[in-house]
Chains A and B, each alone.
Chain A
Amino acid sequence: MRNKKIQLIILEVLGVLLGLLYISPFYIIIINSFKSKKEFLLNTLSWPNELLLDNYLKAMDKMGFLTAFKNSLIVTVLSLLLIVILSSMAAWMLARTKSKLSNVIFYSFVAAMLIPFQSVMLPLVDLFGVNKLNLINTHFGIIFMYVGFGASLSVFLFHGFVKSVPISLEEAATIDGCNKLQLYWKIVFPLLKSISVTVAILNGMWIWNDFLLPSLVLQKKELRTLPLSTKYFFGAYQADWTLAMAGLVLAIIPIIIFYLLAQKQIIKGVLAGSIK
């Protein structure tokens, strides 16, 4: 018994050390983001002499932080709203319709999960580009694309969830004279709340952090999302390490705040998304 206690204490200490090691990269970029160039050159590992905010002010300005943050927020929120509503509508209808066509459509969504983005990106840019759909360099265009790419996993998750919901409630509402739209909006959608949060989190983590699609579709400076503006900023100032670190810290802060607020939902979402 005593042996076991000692074992647990050793594990506890090991765990804490490992945890510290795990977050040490964050620590090291934060301390360097406050240093002057001169101090940085003298010692990379030391605690900063004084907390200089110059790097942050300059980084915010040079990377167009506020614009990029606003763009990321608009693109992510609107995409998630559309993904949740449109995918749940489709998944519910597909799950409740027993026909060959409905099966074919559902399995097309599932099968498409194997397609890597790189296999469609060149034709996608071609199709949405000049002389064709002309949706490059618009927020609408990229949101449309996120809905299309998010559809596969989202329809799949909603479909699995709908199948486990008893149908009797829907039947009762139909007898009471609900039409399909009322049925979905008043009865079904409220029942899907927990899976909707999961779908939103899984897609949100990916869309917020996505770099490749915005780099292909949003070439105008004023439309850039946060990962994209970080890339341009870092490319231009990478010799200036302390400034670059301040930019990276700025880019990381929003997602960490969100994580600390919505931790439980995030972990739940990750689990639900992995049970395929």
Chain B
Amino acid sequence: MKKNVFHDRLAFWGFVGPVLITFIMVVIIPFAMGLYYSFTDWSAIPDNPINYIGFQNYMEVFNDEQFIISFKATIIYTMISVLLINIIGFTLALLVTRKLKTSNLLRTTFFMPNLIGGIILGYVWRFIFMKVFVALASSTGIGFFGLPWLSDATHAIWAMAIVSTWQMGGYIMVIYVAALQGIPEDLLEAAQIDGANAWHRIKAIIFPLVAQAFTVSLFLTISSSFKMFDVNAALTKGDPSRLTELLTLEIYNKAFIESKFGVGQAQAVILFLLISVVSLTQVYLSKKREVEM
């Protein structure tokens, strides 16, 4: 019997151990080190002493004008892109779940940008905003194309949101499509016979029944927007004058350009807290709504 217990334990660690060790070394230990480093004068130079300095890094973060700019830009970018991605994703889902001949082809098309990495998409759109839009503006005369897309901060944040929407719209569409397909057909037909118009059907039947998909999509879009780095690095690089430098890029620059590793790490801890608080609150609130309906 005793031998059995020993064997079970050996098997347990034999199976769980390998992935657990990599996970601890790559995620847990660096996370703990990061918490500690954010309270020190860490310089990332090997063999340099590391001294505990209390909340000094955090004080510096909140007195840093660039951090405040990045923080605000991140919040604005997140609000715009979460809204755009979900509206477009939901609309596309409504479209491709109608009985269209091109339905499957359209799904394939709308999902395609999602497969391409943010750094490549960022460059593709850099070209479009800088060259193609200018050409379109002069040949069509449409003002929209002539806007200062990358040279003005407000427009550049919208530009990033447009690229993210193009990238993630199809992904979110897939989630809404699954939810929409779960709605019984006869329920919608019955409502139509009772005289409900399209908007009524969306409001009274479709929205409540896809509430769960909303919870998931909001969670995914909020956390991915807060974490957005690649498109920012490729499309605007923070320009003009670091006004579109989102938090993730600011952390990178603080450490690798300004060599302030402790301060950068303190910002990274703040980013973690921000993402945790916002996304957990959102899931809690959305779940509550789901139950009520």
Give the residues in chain A near B269, CB-CB below 8 Å. 119
| Chain A contact residues: helix, strand, loop or mixed | helix
Give the residues in chain B near A105, CB-CB below 8 Å. 16, 20
Would A148 and B16 count as touching, CB distance under 8 A? no
Tally of chain B residues near chain A (CB < 8 A): 92
> What size tier do the contact residues of chain A reach?
35 or more
Give the residues in chain A near B125, CB-CB below 8 Å. 25
Would B216 and A8 count as touching, CB distance under 8 A? no
Contact of B268 among A14, A119, A149 (CB under 8 A): A119
Question: Is A78 in the interface zone, CB < 8 Å from B?
Answer: no
Q: Which residues in chain B, 129-170, are within 8 Å of chain A measured between CB atoms?
A: 131-132, 134-136, 139, 166
B37's closest neighbor in chain A, by CB?
A123
A120–B108 Cα gap in the complex (Å)? 35
Question: Is A161 in the interface zone, CB < 8 Å from B?
Answer: no
List residues of A whose CB falls within 8 A of some B CB: 8, 11-12, 14-16, 18-19, 22-23, 25-26, 28-29, 32, 43-45, 86-87, 89-90, 92-94, 97, 102, 105, 108-109, 112, 114-127, 129-132, 144-145, 147-149, 151-152, 155, 180-181, 184, 205, 208-212, 227, 230-231, 234, 238, 241, 244-245, 248, 251-252, 255-256, 258-259, 263, 266-267, 270-271, 274-276
List residues of B whose CB falls within 8 A of some A CB: 11-12, 14-16, 18-20, 22-31, 33-34, 37, 44, 46-47, 92, 95-96, 98-103, 105-113, 115-120, 123-128, 131-132, 134-136, 139, 166, 171, 174-175, 178, 216-217, 219-220, 223, 226-227, 229-230, 233-234, 247-248, 251-252, 255, 261, 264-265, 268-269, 271-272, 275-276, 279-280
26 example contacts (A-B, Cβ-Cβ < 8 A) are as follows A12-B100, A12-B101, A25-B113, A26-B112, A28-B128, A44-B131, A45-B132, A90-B15, A92-B15, A93-B16, A94-B16, A108-B28, A114-B279, A116-B271, A122-B44, A123-B33, A123-B37, A180-B11, A180-B15, A209-B115, A209-B117, A209-B119, A210-B117, A234-B123, A252-B116, A274-B220
